[in-house]
């Protein structure tokens, strides 16, 4: 099991737990996340989901780079489409989903947090989309949702530089709703906020989420482009170099081919 859950007061709290890889999303974690979201949709006892990372160091440090490194272009396209579809299910879920971000939320981890309805963070949280360091682009909706949350200029800066930002910077940009000092305070805040939300009408909750999301429904083309271009990058020499460099713990040398 890579996702640990607690259930109390109709609220499901799920901790992604793959400590050796900073909770990176490999195929197994991804399947478990998919099952978790299906359960959230169908189980009437669950009124809301809090997603967090196990331990103090990471929320999720991205898609698993060792798995990415051996992908063909076709596999990369399939992976991006599957990730986008699951993250859309989270975004469109009629029940509230809060990301409680403790530590690194990078690449697919930042994208997962952005697919949730509300993001809370502890002081040690770090956000970023460092895919360009691997010679690839975000593939799980990051190019679209980061733009929606922080605007086009800052998105381009973050995607092109791969810079990581602190919880406080993320809050100043509107990427994070609230920041607290410790992991314990983070879970307490997420739980009390979720309790407040789920005390309200489930119909009104679902309709608010749908109304807000429908305002962005025209942006479908951006997601399709992202998946195709993610896959196109996976076919390059630079992608092989970027992923090999990460695995070999050395700086990459890109050639533009």
Give residues in contact with ligand CAA (CB under 6 A): 21-22, 24, 61-66, 68, 83, 104, 106-108, 111, 130-131, 134, 138-140, 142
Q: Which of 107, 115, 95, 102 is nearest to 61 (CA)?
A: 107
> Can you give the three-state secondary structure of 103-161, one letter per residue?
CEEECHHHHHHHHCCEEEEECCCEEECHHHHHCCCCCCCHHHHHHHHHCHHHHHHHHHH
CB of 204 to ligand CAA, least distance (A): 33
**Hey, how many other C-beta atoms are within 10 angstroms of the C-beta on 256?**
7
Closest CA to 173 of 149, 156, 145, 147: 149
Nearest approach, Cβ of residue 190 and ligand CAA (Å): 22
Cβ(7)–Cβ(46) below 8 Å = yes
Euclidean distance between CA atoms 195 and 101, whole angstroms: 18
**Nearest-angstrom CA–CA distance, 64 and 32:** 15
For the annotated catalytic residues, the residue numbers are 111, 131
Min dist CB 156 to ligand CAA, Å, is: 16
Closest separation in Å from C-beta 209 to ligand CAA: 24
Residues 6+ apart with CB under 8 A from 108: 24, 25, 60, 62, 63, 83, 138, 139, 140
Strand locations in 2-130 (E): 3-8, 11-16, 48-53, 58-60, 97-101, 104-106, 118-122, 126-128
CB of 145 to ligand CAA, least distance (A): 11
């Amino acid at each position: 099991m890579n996702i640990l859950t607690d259930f109390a007061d109709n609220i499901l709290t799920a901790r992604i737990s793959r400590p050796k890889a900073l909770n990176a999303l490999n195929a197994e974690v991804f399947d478990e996340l998919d099952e978790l979201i299906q359960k959230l949709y169908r189980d009437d006892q669950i009124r809301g989901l809090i997603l967090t990372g196990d331990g103090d160091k990471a929320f999720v440090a991205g898609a698993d780079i060792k798995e990415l490194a051996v992908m063909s272009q076709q596999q990369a396209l399939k992976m991006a489409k599957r990730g986008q579809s699951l993250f859309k299910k989270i975004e469109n879920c009629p029940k509230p989903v809060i990301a409680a971000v403790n530590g690194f939320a990078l690449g697919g981890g930042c994208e997962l947090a952005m697919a949730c309805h509300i993001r809370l963070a502890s002081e040690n949280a770090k956000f970023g989309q460092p895919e360009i360091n691997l010679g690839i682009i975000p593939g799980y909706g990051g190019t679209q949702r980061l733009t929606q949350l922080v605007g086009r200029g800052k998105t381009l800066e973050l995607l092109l530089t791969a810079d990581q930002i602190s919880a406080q910077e993320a809050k100043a940009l509107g990427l994070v709703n609230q920041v607290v000092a410790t992991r314990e305070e983070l879970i307490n805040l997420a739980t009390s906020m979720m309790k407040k939300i789920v005390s309200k009408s489930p119909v009104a909750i679902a309709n608010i989420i749908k109304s807000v999301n429908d305002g962005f429904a025209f942006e479908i083309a951006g997601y399709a482009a992202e998946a195709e271009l993610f896959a196109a990058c996976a076919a390059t020499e630079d992608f092989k170099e970027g992923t090999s460099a990460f695995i070999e713990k050395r700086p990459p040398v890109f050639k533009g081919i």
